[in-house]
Copies of this chain bind each other. A is one copy, B any other.
Amino acid sequence: MKNEENYFKHEKAIVESDSIGVGTRIWANAHIMKDAVIGERCNIGEGCFIESGVRIGDDVVIKNNISIWLGIIIEDGVFLGPNVVFTNEIEPRSTFPKELARTLIKRGATIGANSTIIANRIVGEFSTIGAGSVVTKDVLPHRLVYGNPARIHGWVCICGRKLTIAKFQSQCICGREYHIEQDNFRQIK
């Protein structure tokens, strides 16, 4: 099922994996290594590099110039802005190799353009990391964070819009509603 007839590969892309989902598009100068697993309906931008052993879910948008190293897991519906940077080593030195660290980007999260994600972190479901951030701590679900280092600046809807809160409630213009009380966040509609 997962063969080149079911996904789009630019003629200048290098695809060594045979696990590419239906409807996925892979653009020029991208390189998908052997044994990387890419879901359905993804977009892999120009100059991206997906290392062997990486798993990427369905409906993931990966803009240009992003390298996804072994140890990083990208769940369904994640959006990675252009030039987002991941790492998979803590305290690296050229001649002192260390154990690989893991990073998990959970369902529906957005990582803004040119952000840097320190290894060994979890980016929560439907959270948003503003462009140009440096993420040094775990990010909780639905949180908006940005800056260097990234700090909490609010809450975001499943649809990506920033939420305004009144009397512990928030209604997004998309129609979804949430109850938000300190760290307690739940969708009520």
Contacts and interface: CB of A to CB of B under 8 A. Distances in A.
Given A46-B67, A86-B82, A116-B113, A94 B29 contact: no
A61 B159 contact: no
Given A31-B28, A31-B46, A96 B160 contact: yes
A129 to B, nearest CB: 11
Tell me the dominant secondary structure on chain A's binding face.
loop
> Number of contact residues on A: which range applies?
35 or more
Given A14-B28, A128-B91, A132-B116, A63 B59 contact: no
Given A47-B47, A113-B116, 20 more contacts: A12-B14, A46-B47, A47-B65, A49-B64, A60-B94, A61-B92, A61-B94, A63-B67, A83-B83, A83-B85, A83-B114, A85-B113, A91-B128, A92-B112, A93-B158, A94-B108, A94-B110, A96-B174, A98-B160, A116-B132
